[in-house]
Amino acid sequence: MRFKAQRGSRSFLPGTTTPTMGYNGDFLGPTIRVKNGQQFHADIENTLDEPTTVHWHGLHVPAKWDGGPRQVIPTGAHWKPEFTIRQPAATLWYHPHAMGLTGEQVYNGLAGLFIIDDEVSERLNIPKQYGRDDFPLIIQDRRFFQDGHFAYAQNMMDVMNGVIGNHLLVNGAEKPFLDVPREKVRFRVVNGSNSSIYRISFADERPFFQIATDGGLMEKPVTLTSLLLSAGERAEIIVDFADNNPAAGVTLLVKQFNGQLFEAMRFTSTGPAENQTDLPQDLAAINWLKESDAVRTRTFVMKTMGMDMGMMGGGGLTINGKHMDLKRIDETVKLGTTEIWEIRNSSDMMMGMPHSMHLHDVQFQILDRNGQTPEPREWGHKDTVLVMPGEVTRIIVRFADYTGIYMYHCHLLEHEDNGMMGQFEIIR
Question: Which residues in this chain contact Cu ion in the complex, by CB under 5 A?
Answer: 355, 410, 412, 415
Residue placing its CB nearer to Cu ion in the complex, 232 or 374? 232
Residue placing its CB nearer to Cu ion in the complex, 238 or 412? 412
Residue placing its CB nearer to Cu ion in the complex, 106 or 410? 410
Least Å distance between CB 86 and Cu ion?
A: 29
Least Å distance between CB 63 and Cu ion?
A: 24
Residue placing its CB nearer to Cu ion in the complex, 22 or 314? 314
Least Å distance between CB 412 and Cu ion?
A: 4
Burial readout 372-410 (b: 16 or more C-beta within 10 A, e: otherwise): eebeebbbbbbbbbbbbbebbbbbbbbbeebebbbbbbb
Residue 112 burial (CB count, 10 A):
23
CA–centroid distance for 319 within its chain: 20
Residue placing its CB nearer to Cu ion in the complex, 42 or 410? 410
Q: Which residue is nearest to Cu ion (CB)?
A: 410
Least Å distance between CB 312 and Cu ion?
A: 17
Residue placing its CB nearer to Cu ion in the complex, 45 or 104? 104
Report DSSP state, residue 364. B
Cα-based angle 364, 370, 371 (whole degrees, multiple of 5): 80
Cβ neighbors of 243 (< 8 A, separation 6 or more) are none
Cα-based angle 199, 212, 237 (whole degrees, multiple of 5): 55
Residue closest to 330 by CA, chosen among 223, 405, 402, 259:
405
Q: How far apart are CA 413 and CA 199, in angstroms?
A: 19
Burial readout 291-306 (b: 16 or more C-beta within 10 A, e: otherwise): eeebeeeeebbbbbbe
Helix (H, G, I), strand (E, B) or coil at 104: helix
Least Å distance between CB 8 and Cu ion?
A: 29
Residue placing its CB nearer to Cu ion in the complex, 115 or 353? 353
Residue placing its CB nearer to Cu ion in the complex, 216 or 232? 232
Tell me the residue type at 330.
D
Least Å distance between CB 77 and Cu ion?
A: 31
Residue placing its CB nearer to Cu ion in the complex, 213 or 230? 230
Q: How far apart are CA 94 and CA 110, in angstroms?
A: 8
Least Å distance between CB 387 and Cu ion?
A: 8
CB–CB of 427/331 below 8 Å? no
Q: How far apart are CA 362 and CA 401, in angstroms?
A: 10
Q: How far apart are CA 15 and CA 239, in angstroms?
A: 35
Least Å distance between CB 345 and Cu ion?
A: 8
**Cross-strand partners of 229:** 198
Least Å distance between CB 415 and Cu ion?
A: 3
Cβ neighbors of 182 (< 8 A, separation 6 or more) are 241, 242, 244, 269, 271, 272, 273, 274
